[in-house]
Amino acid sequence: MIIMLYRDNGVGMTEEMTTKIFDPFYTTARGRGGTDPGMSIVFNLVTQTLKGTISCKSNPGKGVVFIIKIPYSIPDEKERV
């Protein structure tokens, strides 16, 4: 298993925001633009393509943490059947 940790010291998010962060076109910048599908694409790449998991933890004013776990090797298509 490969584990990647991303952490920042930004403004953070509420619990409600973290439950929606991977929804397509969800934005924390309502009214300021920014309705791109960015985190939805990341979620799909990690879970579908890489067969891993991604989680988000945050508190307002405390930044954000993303934990990405992917298998060390991904079976090729023939091995998955």
32-42: pLDDT as tens digits: 555 567 889 99
**pTM to 2 decimals?**
0.76
CATH 3.90.45.10 fits 2-75, yes or no: no
The pLDDT tens digits for 48-65 are 999 999 999 999 999 999
User: 27-64 burial string, b = 16+ CB within 10 Å, else e?
Assistant: bbeeeeeeeeeebeeebeebeeebebebebebeeeeeb
Domain parsing of the chain, residue ranges: 2-75
